[in-house]
Amino acid sequence: MSFPTTSSLASATFPNTAQPWHTQPSSQALELLQSDPEQGLPESQITQRQQYYGANELKETGGRSPLQILWEQFTNIMLVMLIAVAVVSAVLDLKNGTFPKDAIAIFLIVILNGILGYLQESRAEKALAALKNLSSPKVRVIRNGKTEEISAKDLVPGDIMLLEAGVSIAADGRLLEAQNLQVKESALTGEAEGVNKQAEVILNEDAPLGDRINLVFQGTEVIQGRAKVLVCKTGMDTEIGHIAAMLQSVESEPTPLQQRMSQLGNVLVSSSLILVAIVVIGGVLRTGWGLFEQLLEVSLSMAVAVVPEGLPAVVTVTLAIGTQRMVRRNALIRKLPAVETLGSVTTICSDKTGTLTQNKMVVQQVQTGCQSFQVTGEGYAPIGEFIPDEERYKTEYQDVQLLLRACVLCNDALLQEKQGSWEIIGDPTEGALLSLAGKAGIYQEALTPSLPRVGEIPFSSERKRMSVVVEGVMLPEQEPPYTMFTKGSPELILERCTHVINGDRPQPLTSEERENILFQNDQMAMQGLRVLGFACRAIEEIPSLESEEIAEQQLIWLGLVGMLDAPRKEVKGAVLRCREAGIRAIMITGDHQLTAQAIAYDLGIAQPGDQILTGRELERFNQSELEEKVEQVSVYARVSPEHKLRIVRALQNRGKFVAMTGDGVNDAPALKQADIGIAMGITGTDVSKEASDMILLDDNFATIVAATEEGRVVYSNIRRFIKYILGSNIGEVLVIAASPLLGLGGVPLSPLQILWMNLVTDGLPALALAMEPAEPNVMKRPPFSPRESIFARGLGLYMVRIGIIFAILTIGLMVWAYNHAQASGDPQRWKTMVFTTLCLAQMGHALAVRSDNRLTIQLNPMSNPYVLGAITLTTLLQLLLIYFAPLRNFFGTHWLSFTELAICFGFSALMFVWIEIEKIIVNAFFVSQKTSSKL
């Protein structure tokens, strides 16, 4: 094997990857790409190739272009209406011979709003792209003679990539070895059926893509089997790169709330148009055409006032902040709607292994036909004792020796020492078995070369077992050349056994022995141990996949291995928090019912006496019977992925809002069906991640609960600023409508001033309110229905009530200010006093609305410093509008005296006082209700 020796990129020769790889034998492909199937590429080559071929990434062709994002800002119905208002106002001004200041200002604001919206949205898109990187898949490769896991984007042509079931293939490649490999290529060819792949064949150059069974392609998924692949093409050179199809791994669809908000926008715009029509037509009918222009002026102001121009931007920003808060707590949101709906979860269905438990397995007990012993040790280090009779177990007893060899041979994991610590690549269950055998001095490197694997029937959650076939004689008096080892769920393996190794040779298995094994299995499971059963058999021919049922029969029982997988420490507290928050935690596991029960008791998911349902029992129920059961049962054991689907459906039919975890390929349908599908970031297959709404970066149940809490915070903050913004809009409309009715002559607020309020003096505090931290009771109340209206639970009423109070206060001030101003030298001043009072009252509202039931003095002002900051900034800006001459001229405001300003402050403060009094009354009412219900 020769590698380019020159160090500089320019002089190095790099293999040409544009070859018809399917026409070449694998050896030739290896030669062309200067790689080695056992060693992979050396370090020096990797960096050079990465620079030469570039990162293994598809350049995004999907998504929106910047121009598109900008254009969409101006197609927003609210902005369209503002443009219409600007045009009408310009026509009126030009007709009267005045400079169309309002119109120009509105245009400027429309453009500014468009640019702000553009900046916000493109930042949100960038944030999503960053999240996408976080969820970028990992690939197992051989480099420098070692197996390691790397990020898919670091793959280069010449890399040796290892594939297994559930993996999404990260580059195009030529198969070097394949065992029962079946790949779903629908992303590329549209073919829904799995394609069986073979390494040995050589094809004609014109073989269509779908028939190139010696190649694998990026973006397709391994359904079953394993393979070793030579990476031939990466990035945009791959087939999927050529057709520029893009697999979006983070979707940015509008959330239900955003959809409802745009519907609300439509409703408000149409109602404001109706309002304009009523005011103009009603006015013309009453007073004739004489006052038409004045009427038009009033109605234009009302139209602008009704529409909450700043709201859509605040909603988008809040959702983006929500995803960031969640990712800080290890929950990666893949579909934006999950941010707001997570808070509504009523039921969390969780796997056991790895999510509720640590997934750090250590074998503690072993039981063969005749021997039973304990094993000590921690972690995966192959260091520990066999108790009570160390030496004899480790070297002498034949049945123990055979079982330990089965642990190593019937295993797909790798145990490696890295910088003094022992790590595994692969399934922790299998890692624990390698560590067990290592404690007796039996290692993969020494054993596997003399007993090469020639066949296998892979593990799946449905089968709950796996078999491998090795070439070699392992049993006494064995004639057939191959030995098959099977491991898996003990009950299932035992059903297939006819013999047991007693001492050093197989003997027929008596029913007494059978019962004894099951008894021992139960004993181990009751201690919360995860138990695997082992068996073997001599065979003449390598079985095909189809013959699995026949091959895995007449087995010889080898023994039981019980491993400890301790519950995660933080989960017990998380389950308790769930209970307080009205959320039910349910365990759905493939493991034994007694193991599940022991862990469920420990974590508080079930209490002694609670029913536990197994997959077999579940199969006997029809869907309506199951729906009744799911109300009571919180632990499901020995289930298959299809049972998960049934359980989710049953819960949903009972009106539950279900979050469900999953990691395997076959969990995808259940994840899609669940209201929130949750995939495991560490152990999850790419397929399950693709199907999920959220990924747990640490695989931890407690993270789901944390994300639910964040979801609740996001939703309550959204409600908070909606009531803040819309309450003010209602107030503004009423004040504008009142002034002509009271005969004050003229509109108190120009469209420009209203826009200023809606976008700046309302917008900034609203953004600050979106940063509000969790209220202390956020996880002490039941979840709210995701289907409830955003105005439910008194929000609509609050808005109207506060809008009216707002209006009464301001109208009170308006009447006084009008009379006061007529007597002063500047009769138009009252308008500025109304404008200022409306703005300042909203500052008080922002302070008070931070909590629904706690008084502002009970809140720590620094728990959300943004609110104080926004209020100070906005008040200063408002003062600038009054006291800074150029702004005063631009916004058409008037200078106010100190007393006038103080009066505005005084009236505004009443708004704050009112809301605080409301809280006192409501709290007192609840206290008296609680006491009377206790009596």
Residues with catalytic function: 351
- What Å distances lie between residue 490 and 62, 305, 366, 428, 642, CA to CA? 49, 71, 13, 18, 21
Check residue 488 for interaction with ligand ATP (CB under 6 A). yes
- What Å distances lie between residue 301 and 95, 287, 748, 813, 835, CA to CA? 19, 20, 9, 19, 13
Q: What is the dihedral of CA 613, 616, 620, 626, to 10 degrees?
A: 30
| Residue with smaller CB distance to ligand ATP, 705 or 833 | 705
Pairing type for strands 453-457 and 421-425 reads unpaired
Rounded distance between C-alpha atoms, residue 669 and residue 464, angstroms: 19
Q: How far is the CB of 690 from ligand ATP (least distance, A)?
A: 19
Q: How far is the CB of 616 from ligand ATP (least distance, A)?
A: 14
Among 53, 217, 373, 459, binds ligand ATP (CB under 6 A): 459
| Residue closest to ligand ATP (Cβ) | 590
- What Å distances lie between residue 661 and 347, 587, 712, CA to CA? 11, 10, 20
Picking from 744, 705, 722, 677, the residue whose alpha carbon sits closest to that of residue 575 is 705
Q: Given the rule CB under 6 A, which of 484-492, 714-722, 844-852, 873-881 is the region that contacts ligand ATP?
A: 484-492
Check residue 489 for interaction with ligand ATP (CB under 6 A). yes
Q: What is the dihedral of CA 40, 42, 47, 51, to 10 degrees?
A: -60
Q: Given the rule CB under 6 A, which of 2-10, 191-199, 349-357, 809-817 is the region that contacts ligand ATP?
A: 349-357
- Decide if 343 contacts 583 (C-beta within 8 A): no
Site for ligand ATP in 751-810 (CB under 6 A): none
Among 404, 532, 594, 915, binds ligand ATP (CB under 6 A): 532
Site for ligand ATP in 427-446 (CB under 6 A): 427, 429-430
Rounded distance between C-alpha atoms, residue 121 and residue 854, angstroms: 34
Q: How far is the CB of 228 from ligand ATP (least distance, A)?
A: 20
Site for ligand ATP in 579-598 (CB under 6 A): 589-591
| Residue with smaller CB distance to ligand ATP, 666 or 750 | 666
Check residue 56 for interaction with ligand ATP (CB under 6 A). no
Q: How far is the CB of 481 from ligand ATP (least distance, A)?
A: 24
- Total length of the chain: 935
For 654: left if phi > 0, alpha if psi spans -120 to 50, otherwise beta; the answer is: alpha
| Residue with smaller CB distance to ligand ATP, 215 or 466 | 466
In 10 A of CB 620, how many CB atoms? 8
Check residue 154 for interaction with ligand ATP (CB under 6 A). no
Rounded distance between C-alpha atoms, residue 509 and residue 497, angstroms: 8
Contact letters (x/-) for ligand ATP, 492-531, by CB under 6 A?
Answer: ----------------------------------------
Check residue 466 for interaction with ligand ATP (CB under 6 A). yes
Picking from 820, 843, 844, the residue whose alpha carbon sits closest to that of residue 830 is 820
Whole-number CA gyration radius for the chain: 35
Among 353, 483, 729, 753, binds ligand ATP (CB under 6 A): 353
Total interface residues for ligand ATP by CB under 6 A: 18
Q: How far is the CB of 647 from ligand ATP (least distance, A)?
A: 12
Q: How far is the CB of 466 from ligand ATP (least distance, A)?
A: 5
Check residue 689 for interaction with ligand ATP (CB under 6 A). no
Picking from 763, 660, 767, 785, the residue whose alpha carbon sits closest to that of residue 320 is 767
Check residue 351 for interaction with ligand ATP (CB under 6 A). yes
| Residue with smaller CB distance to ligand ATP, 565 or 762 | 565
> Which tokens hold the place of 521?
């299995």
Coil vs helix vs strand at 131: helix
Site for ligand ATP in 110-139 (CB under 6 A): none
Q: How far is the CB of 354 from ligand ATP (least distance, A)?
A: 6
Among 461, 739, 761, 893, binds ligand ATP (CB under 6 A): 461
Angle among Cα 3, 4, 9 to the nearest 5 degrees reads 140
| Residue with smaller CB distance to ligand ATP, 258 or 523 | 523
Rounded distance between C-alpha atoms, residue 171 and residue 264, angstroms: 46
Q: Given the rule CB under 6 A, which of 255-263, 346-354, 689-697, 827-835 is the region that contacts ligand ATP?
A: 346-354
Q: How far is the CB of 359 from ligand ATP (least distance, A)?
A: 9
Q: How far is the CB of 379 from ligand ATP (least distance, A)?
A: 19
| Residue with smaller CB distance to ligand ATP, 166 or 590 | 590
Rounded distance between C-alpha atoms, residue 474 and residue 629, angstroms: 48
Rounded distance between C-alpha atoms, residue 878 and residue 881, angstroms: 5
Residue ranges that bind ligand ATP, judged by CB under 6 A: 351-353, 427, 429-430, 459, 461, 464-466, 487-489, 532, 589-591
